[in-house]
Amino acid sequence: MTLTHSEALEKFIDNLKEKDRSPSTIIAYKKDIEQLFDFYKDEHSKVSDYKTKHIKVWIEHLIKEKKFTLKTVSRKINSYKTLFKFLHRENYIESDVAHPISHPTFKPKDPRILSSLEYKALRDTARNNERLYAMIEILLQTGMRIGELSRLKRDNVDLESSPATAKIQAYASNPERVIPLNKNAVEAIQEYLKVRPNTEKDQGYLFITKTGRQVLVRNIRTMINNAFEKSGIEDATVNDIRNTFIVYQLERGIPIERVAEIVGHQRLTSTEKYLNLIEDRKKKKSAKVIPL
């Protein structure tokens, strides 16, 4: 069976969904593959026409003409390898033409860690906006992902228990987990709840718009990026707040297994890489999350 571009992409995406890959991963794969197919749309209309040389030409184009970083190119190569491996396994093509393609060599940048002056400045910038302040404080005090923050339901937050907790619901390949909320996070949430919109169309999310709808990831990212800019903090992203939580807790002696559990790392190696950023780690172990 010979597949057209659209047929191959549809079957590939369906396979990713069956494997329960995250929506963001699926979107990234789809975009990468569409770019490749669009580049060759006038030359090849079927995936069986592709050879290794065609992918190599496209990769060279990405680097020389599109000026993509080697890290981004490596991610795109992974998309093509996954696609053609799937097509070959399902007998839609005779050979895995992406298999010989190697990833470019590059040295990953160390995670950006906010200094105490920076995250305090970020907090001060958002001080008069209860919703934004609570968002930043939760990210800073728990290390949760921005998507988890967006999906957090009001009922998932228990401010009455000791300690207070937030239940992060299962999503894609990430299982459900319950994380502690320290005093700083609890106080920020309490202040936000005082001004949280009261509407009949409330969808139940902790962070909502004036009409009761969920505040989307892209809007949270935009708000926090604006706060970074107003604070004079350069070259920082929302994910750097998560990095900061991880490093700070490891420095203060929180067991690496506990930090991995709180932030939702499924592999301990994902947490261990942060140890390289720590100059002096306290020998005395602490069980409690230390407020930033």
CATH number of 65's domain? 1.10.150.130
pLDDT at 144: 96
Could you tell me if 144 and 40 lie in one domain? no
Please compute the mean of the pLDDT values over residues 221-226 and round it to a whole number: 96
**Does some domain include residue 52?**
yes
**Does some domain include residue 131?**
yes
> Residue 107: is it exposed, middle or buried by C-beta count within 10 angstroms (0-12/13-18/19+)?
exposed
**Does some domain include residue 105?**
no
**Does some domain include residue 180?**
yes
pLDDT (tens digit per residue) in 95-105: 999 999 999 88
**Does some domain include residue 16?**
yes
Q: In the chain, pLDDT over 90 holds for what percent of residues?
A: 75
pLDDT at 19: 87
108 or 50: which leads in pLDDT:
50
Could you tell me if 128 and 271 lie in one domain? yes
- Residue 9's pLDDT band (cuts 50, 70, 90): very high
- Residue 283's pLDDT band (cuts 50, 70, 90): low
Could you tell me if 10 and 155 lie in one domain? no
Q: For residue 163, say if its preceding peptide bond is cis, omega within 30 degrees of 0.
A: yes
pLDDT at 50: 94
Q: What is the CATH number of the domain that holds 204?
A: 1.10.443.10
**Does some domain include residue 66?**
yes
Could you tell me if 78 and 208 lie in one domain? no
Range of the domain at 230: 116-277
Please compute the mean of the pLDDT values over residues 140-151 and round it to a whole number: 96
User: Domain tally for the chain?
Assistant: 2
pLDDT (tens digit per residue) in 165-189: 999 999 877 899 999 999 999 999 9
Cβ neighbours, 10 Å, residue 112 = 16
Could you tell me if 236 and 128 lie in one domain? yes
**Does some domain include residue 102?**
no
Could you tell me if 130 and 84 lie in one domain? no
* Alpha carbon separation from 180 to 141, 192, 200, 253, 288 (Å, rounded): 9, 18, 30, 17, 9
* Alpha carbon separation from 96 to 29, 82, 153, 199 (Å, rounded): 17, 10, 44, 54
